[in-house]
Amino acid sequence: MIKPDGVVRGLIGEIISRLERKGLKIVALKMIKIDRKKAEKLYEQHKGKDFFKELIDYVTSAPVVVMIVEGRDATKVVRKIIGKTDPIEAEPGTIRFDLAMTIGKNIIHAADSKERADIEMKLFFNDNEIMNYKRVDENWIY
């Protein structure tokens, strides 16, 4: 998910481009305004923490771009591309290091496991919104 700061800063294309250039395939994509209920479900593992309310306020403050990407070990690959949660600790070349300055506005969210990805995908997409197709370069990527 490209968070509100990524959307309002005009970084959607940059972020999607990085994912596609790596070889990941986008199979679902849309811009939405997350309501509080979905935001709280998305970040339910942080409920009760000091920053929870601020996080929910932030993620519901402007549109976001939600997407599903596929590829070998997609969850691990995406986590590597986006970098550590705190941009200061992220590796150079990652989305968060290159494009974000603070942990509170760090451009992008990604599930940290396949199980969590399955939950999050169902929050934002119906089965008929997920496309099944083959990229022309898949034979060269894999």
Backbone angles phi, psi at 2, to 5 degrees: -85, 120
Q: Tell how strand 64-70 and strand 25-32 pair up.
A: antiparallel
Annotated catalytic residue 109: yes
Quote the DSSP letter at residue 91. Answer: P
CA distances in angstroms from 86 to 7, 52, 101, 102, 122, listed in the order given: 19, 16, 8, 6, 27
The one catalytic residue in 18, 109, 110, 111 is 109
Residues assigned a catalytic role: 109
